[in-house]
Structure 1
């Protein structure tokens, strides 16, 4: 495969100039990487739930019944929705009540996120643990951004926060010292993507795109996963894709603050992209920055 052409920002990841979706050649490399890994199986109930959501008019009761069939999942959904992370105004005591109060799509996003989190969390150890804890912190930061800006439901931000770097968990099992590289390039995603492509010919955004499609996540979510490091993502037509990417970029910037990496060129670029898309003011930025500096999102990200 030919070497990727660097973008103006220095990134060598997916770009709109290369195409909206991964090429067949790159997807084959992603398949190869995934086949070598132990990929957790997503419960059948989640696949059935996503099928229900794809209907022209999803049935609220049918969706709630599906989640309620899995006692562990329904319990985790209720635990999460009633947690301080999501700040429900009143205690929600049943999945059916959650669907009635929040709507089927929000509860489905939360159920998908909880199922994926459980599947991924129990399979992570060693070097992958470092990546997993970072992903959980990113998911919590994404929820905080969604709540402060009101740009998207927190549940959907949580699902995307969990999924957009999931390809890195695959690489952590296959590449020596990947966790060290992950930490070193926390404020320079383009360098991480370049390292991945040199080692395996494919980067974690493409593997994440593949896994999200396999797990039947919405098309705009899979596309946002593929382009979340793309400096040209602000030009994407679908506003839902741009919003998810902007939330992720804002979360990356905020998480760079405690390490003092917020002035790295790519982090400043991420902040500019997020501000352009989400149109938040300095008050919002300051409030979220204070949360980041308090370490609010690094607590309880291990076993949940």
Structure 2
């Protein structure tokens, strides 16, 4: 486990920001999960109350990732097929977007959530291709989804956020340094607090808090953190995050740390195009297909 979060830094980062609480529908679903005998029909009914959540659940279960021969057409069927924990994961992905967007339709918000869902799906699929278990796959999805949630909070109050980040990245400055200099906060710390308040595990919260600090995170002896972090960073690289969000082709962080990241998974750089091809076969776009 990486070092504990410095709460004085958290208090500093929170100045002027409010962490969005876990939505009511997710709390009700979580209560069912915590019950001695969770009621899958009740969970399906809760999901069906929100057309956005219901539609997204059906879209995911019918995607190429699962490779079903026959399409699933009901929320009840989808819940039975996916299982309780994965249903909660998908519900989070919808609710997080709408909770943080709060009706905003600006270009950066659209890019941010498109990239979040894309990276989450890439990370989950990579974990599957690399033969990690279901829990790891689901964790990687959550990491892809939540890691940049703090950016949404900052950009809500600072419309110039994307332009400032673009300028700093072109000068090869670190993301956290740019944010601290101009906004006196960090999307990593804000993302950590959002993830914690929404009930993610401490392992996932730690990775989100340090996902731009590979040197710190990879110095620990927590293999689970290392593996999930490495998959996340490959997914970010494959998604072309800097290009998609800030129109910047440079990725100094990846160039500097890719060897250590790939070593965690016992991969070589020449294997990345092969992995990308496997993702393309599942209709997932990567920088190799652009």
TM range (shorter): 0.7 to 0.9
**Structure 1: runs of 5+ lacking an equivalent:** 1-14, 299-304
Pick closer, same or farther for the CA change 1:73–1:265 going to 2, 3 Å. Answer: closer
Counterpart position of 2:265: 278
Q: CA deviation at 1:192?
A: 1.3
Give the stretch that moved more between structures: 130-139 or 43-52: 130-139
2:120 pairs with one of 139, 144, 158: 139
Q: Any residues of structure 2 matched to 1:192-207 within 5 Å, and which?
A: 192-207=175-190
The answer on 1:44 being equivalent to 2:24 is: yes
The answer on 1:102 being equivalent to 2:82 is: yes
The answer on 1:125 being equivalent to 2:114 is: no
Aligned length: 277
Q: CA deviation at 1:105?
A: 1.1
2:17 counterpart SS class: helix
1:149 pairs with one of 130, 146, 155: 130
The answer on 1:253 being equivalent to 2:241 is: no
1:267 pairs with one of 241, 251, 254: 254
Counterpart position of 1:25: 8
The answer on 1:79 being equivalent to 2:63 is: no
**Structure 2: runs of 5+ lacking an equivalent:** none
2:143 pairs with one of 156, 160, 168: 160
**Cα root mean square deviation, aligned:** 3.7
Pick closer, same or farther for the CA change 1:253–1:269 going to 2, 3 Å. Answer: farther
1:248 counterpart SS class: helix
The answer on 1:34 being equivalent to 2:17 is: yes
- CA separation in 2, counterparts of 1:207 and 1:258? 19
Pick closer, same or farther for the CA change 1:212–1:263 going to 2, 3 Å. Answer: closer
The answer on 1:211 being equivalent to 2:180 is: no
Pick closer, same or farther for the CA change 1:66–1:132 going to 2, 3 Å. Answer: closer
2:132 counterpart SS class: coil
1:91 counterpart SS class: coil
Pick closer, same or farther for the CA change 1:247–1:130 going to 2, 3 Å. Answer: same
1:34 counterpart SS class: coil
8 Å CA contact 1:228, 1:245 repeated in 2: yes
Q: What is the TM-score normalised by the length of structure 1?
A: 0.73
Give the stretch that moved more between structures: 224-233 or 93-102: 93-102
Pick closer, same or farther for the CA change 1:132–1:94 going to 2, 3 Å. Answer: closer
Q: CA deviation at 1:69?
A: 4.1
Counterpart position of 1:288: 275
Counterpart position of 2:94: 114
Q: What is the TM-score normalised by the length of structure 2?
A: 0.76
Counterpart position of 1:242: 226
Q: CA deviation at 1:267?
A: 0.7
Q: CA deviation at 1:58?
A: 4.8
The answer on 1:221 being equivalent to 2:201 is: no
8 Å CA contact 1:171, 1:178 repeated in 2: yes
2:218 counterpart SS class: helix
